[in-house]
C-alpha cells in the first residue's frame, strides 16, 4: 500500500483493491524459469500448504469474533436496505469485479478490485493500482457475464485506468458533467469490499484536498470504505458518477482518528476518456 505524506495532512492510502493472493503459475515467457524451479516445488508446495492452513484457521477464528462480525453485518444490512431503491438496483448492474493476473518480479500475483462500465460496448473505469503490471484480466458483471479485457490504458499519476471490452448492449452508468459535488452533498458508493459483491454504502462529501505529489484535487467522503472498494463509483442523488474511490485516510481530529474515503473527481475520468477514445 502506498502513502501520501504531508505535515498536517498525512494521507494514508490503505485498503486498496489488490493483494488477493499469489499464484505459482506464469505466462508462457516464464516457462524456462519454471523448469528451473520445478525440482524444489514439491517442498515449497508442502510449506505453502502448511502456512495456508494456519492462515485459514486464523481467519476462521478472526471472523468469529464479535468485533469483526459487527461492521461486516452492519455493512451488508445497510446495503440491503439501500438496494430497495429501484434506481440503486439499476446502477448496480454496471458495477463490475475486475480479476487481474499481474507480473511481480519472477512471480505472478492475482488481485481483484472494483470498476464500472460507462459505455454499452464496454468501457470500464477503475484505479491504476488495481491493474498495475497486469498480464491479463477478466471483467465480471453482476449478471454473470465475463469478458476478457481487449486492451487498456492508464494514467498512473492520477491512479486511473480505462479498460476496453468487446461487448454490446452492456449496462452502463452516466458520468456527471455539471461540476464538482459540493461539501455536504449526499452520495452513494457501490463496490466489492471484503470479498462481497455489489455492496451499497451511503454518506456525504466532506472536504477537498490537494496532495503534494499529485495533480488536481481529490475529495473525501464519510461512506464506509474497505479493502476491495478501490475503483468504486461515487454516485450523486441523480445517479450520475461524480467520483472514483481510490483510498482511505485515517484523519486525526481532536485526538481521534476518523476514517474517510478518498475519491478522484469525475472530471479526471471525462478527460481521460476523451484522450483514449
Residues with active-site annotation: 129, 159, 230
Phi, psi of 36 (to 5 degrees): -70, -30
Phi and psi of 84, rounded to 5°?
-65, -20
The neighbour count for residue 58, using CB atoms within 10 Å, is: 10
How big is the CA angle at 261 (ends 232 and 61), to the nearest 5 degrees? 85
**Cα distance between residue 206 and residue 146, in whole Å:** 36
Q: What is the phi-psi region of residue 82: left when phi exceeds 0, alpha when psi lies from -120 to 50, beta otherwise?
A: alpha
> CA-CA distance, 120 to 196, in Å (whole number)?
25
Q: Measured in whole angstroms, how far is the alpha carbon of residue 192 from the centre of its chain?
A: 7
3-state secondary structure of 31: helix
Task: Write out the three cell numbers for 265.
Answer: 473527481
Number of alpha carbons in the 13 Å side-chain half-sphere of residue 75: 22
Q: Facing residues of 256 across strands?
A: 253
HSE value, Cβ hemisphere, 13 Å, CA-based, for 134:
26
SS3 content of the chain, % helix, strand, coil (to 5): 30, 35, 35
Amino acid at each position: 500500500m502506498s502513502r501520501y505524506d504531508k505535515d498536517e495532512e498525512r494521507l494514508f492510502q490503505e485498503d486498496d483493491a489488490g493483494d488477493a493472493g499469489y499464484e505459482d503459475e506464469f505466462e508462457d515467457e516464464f516457462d524456462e524459469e519454471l523448469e528451473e524451479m520445478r525440482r524444489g516445488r514439491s517442498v515449497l508446495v508442502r510449506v505453502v500448504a502448511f502456512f495456508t492452513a494456519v492462515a485459514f484457521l486464523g481467519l476462521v477464528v478472526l471472523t468469529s469474533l464479535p468485533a469483526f462480525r459487527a461492521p461486516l453485518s452492519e455493512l451488508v444490512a445497510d446495503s440491503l436496505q439501500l438496494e430497495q431503491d429501484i434506481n440503486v438496483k439499476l446502477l448496480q448492474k454496471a458495477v463490475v469485479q475486475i480479476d487481474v493476473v499481474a507480473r511481480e518480479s519472477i512471480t505472478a500475483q492475482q488481485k481483484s478490485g472494483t470498476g464500472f462500465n460507462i459505455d454499452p460496448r464496454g468501457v470500464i473505469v477503475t484505479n491504476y493500482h488495481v491493474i498495475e503490471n497486469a498480464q491479463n484480466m477478466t471483467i465480471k458483471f453482476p449478471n454473470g457475464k465475463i469478458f476478457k479485457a481487449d486492451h487498456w490504458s492508464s494514467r498512473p499519476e492520477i491512479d486511473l485506468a480505462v479498460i476496453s471490452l468487446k461487448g454490446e448492449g452492456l449496462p452502463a452508468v452516466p458520468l456527471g458533467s455539471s461540476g464538482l459535488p459540493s461539501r455536504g452533498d449526499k452520495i452513494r458508493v457501490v463496490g466489492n469490499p471484503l470479498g462481497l459483491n455489489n455492496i451499497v454504502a451511503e454518506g456525504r462529501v466532506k472536504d477537498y484536498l490537494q496532495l503534494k505529489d499529485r495533480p488536481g484535487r481529490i475529495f473525501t467522503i464519510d461512506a464506509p470504505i474497505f479493502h476491495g472498494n478501490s475503483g468504486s463509483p461515487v454516485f450523486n442523488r441523480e445517479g450520475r458518477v461524480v467520483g472514483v474511490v481510490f483510498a482511505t485516510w485515517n484523519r486525526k481530529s481532536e485526538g481521534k482518528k476518523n476514517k474517510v474515503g478518498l475519491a478522484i473527481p469525475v472530471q479526471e475520468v471525462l478527460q481521460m476518456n476523451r484522450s483514449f477514445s
